[in-house]
């Protein structure tokens, strides 16, 4: 049995945990160290029980707690060369044995869990998503994705569960009070995935990969709502004769709040 929980997800902080057999992996560590520990405690976990931390990329909403994690644990940090270089530039250096450089398409184990990373189009060096393999079941973690490249149809291999960015409603973003340059960044090919594109890709993954569970993630506070994101994907799926609650389970990871645990 595999358990996945989003500790919190959104534009301000992101962290999730996967549990399988005797292995527990943290994905990203945004927010404060205290927030991270308190969220783990709600799952009856502590940082001392973790077997490693995967970092998708070096933006602060994904790494803010990392200095304290490095100080208070002996966890290994798994990420791309580009991300490790940026962590070093941010004065987050670590002992060589704790720095694990990974590459897209090269699988590796963290104890019981097989990880297959892939590159993601985001405006920072070495941004990544992850496929996780648990025997025959596969889940995918893909946030901070500016668009859906053609390669994703081969790289994203989930057949069970997908944690997928659904960051913004395009019209809400355009009409928001955010500065023009920031709107352009978010809408760009290396920005964030819109509700519309997320819904279309969810439809593809269900029809072609047989995905059974989806959690929409990394919602913008100013340019999205949980209901807007949910309805965008639900509507797209049902237009294609995929019934939510019957053919697929659909959830939203609300901002700053621990999610329901997905079990598969």
Tens digits of residue pLDDT in 89-144: 999 989 999 999 999 999 999 999 999 999 999 999 899 999 999 999 999 999 99
Helix (H) or strand (E) holding 250: strand 249-252
User: Are 244 and 186 within 8 A, CB to CB?
Assistant: no
Helix (H) or strand (E) holding 184: helix 180-187
Domains and CATH numbers, the chain: 2-263 (3.60.15.10)
For residue range 196-237, list pLDDT tens digits in order. Answer: 999 999 999 999 999 999 999 999 999 999 999 999 999 999
User: Are 160 and 211 within 8 A, CB to CB?
Assistant: yes
For residue range 9-43, list pLDDT tens digits in order. Answer: 998 999 999 999 999 999 999 999 999 999 999 99
Q: Is 53 helix (H, G, I), strand (E, B) or coil?
A: strand
For residue range 144-187, list pLDDT tens digits in order. Answer: 999 999 999 999 999 999 999 999 999 999 999 999 999 999 99
**At 254, is the pLDDT very low, low, confident or very high (cuts 50, 70, 90)?**
confident
The token pair at 203 is: 């439809």
Return the pLDDT at 256.
86
User: Given CA atoms 203, 139, 127, 154 in this order, what sign does their dihedral have?
Assistant: negative
Residue 100 Rama label (left phi>0; alpha psi -120 to 50; beta): beta
């Amino acid at each position: 049995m595999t358990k996945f929980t989003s500790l919190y997800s959104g534009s301000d902080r992101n962290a999730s945990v996967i549990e399988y057999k005797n292995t527990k992996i943290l994905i990203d560590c945004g927010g404060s160290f205290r927030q991270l520990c308190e969220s783990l405690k709600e799952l009856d976990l502590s940082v001392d029980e973790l077997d490693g931390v995967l970092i998708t990329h070096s933006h602060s909403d994904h790494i803010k707690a990392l200095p304290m994690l490095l100080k208070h644990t002996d966890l290994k940090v798994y990420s791309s060369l580009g991300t490790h270089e940026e962590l070093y530039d941010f004065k987050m250096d670590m002992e060589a044995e704790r720095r694990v450089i990974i590459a897209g398409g090269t699988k590796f184990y963290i104890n019981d869990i097989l990880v297959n990373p892939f590159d993601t189009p985001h405006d920072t060096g070495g941004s990544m998503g992850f496929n996780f393999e648990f025997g025959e079941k596969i889940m995918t973690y893909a946030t901070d994705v500016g668009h859906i490249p053609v390669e994703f149809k081969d790289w994203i291999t989930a057949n069970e569960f997908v944690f997928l960015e659904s960051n913004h409603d395009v019209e809400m973003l355009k009409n928001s009070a955010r500065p023009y340059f920031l709107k352009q960044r978010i809408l760009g090919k290396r920005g964030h995935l819109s509700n519309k594109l997320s819904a279309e890709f969810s439809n593809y993954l269900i029809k072609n990969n047989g995905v059974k569970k989806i959690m929409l993630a990394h919602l913008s506070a100013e340019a999205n709502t949980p209901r807007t994101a949910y309805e965008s994907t639900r509507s797209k799926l049902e237009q294609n004769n995929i019934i939510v609650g019957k053919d697929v389970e659909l959830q939203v990871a609300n901002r700053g709040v621990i999610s329901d645990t997905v079990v598969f």
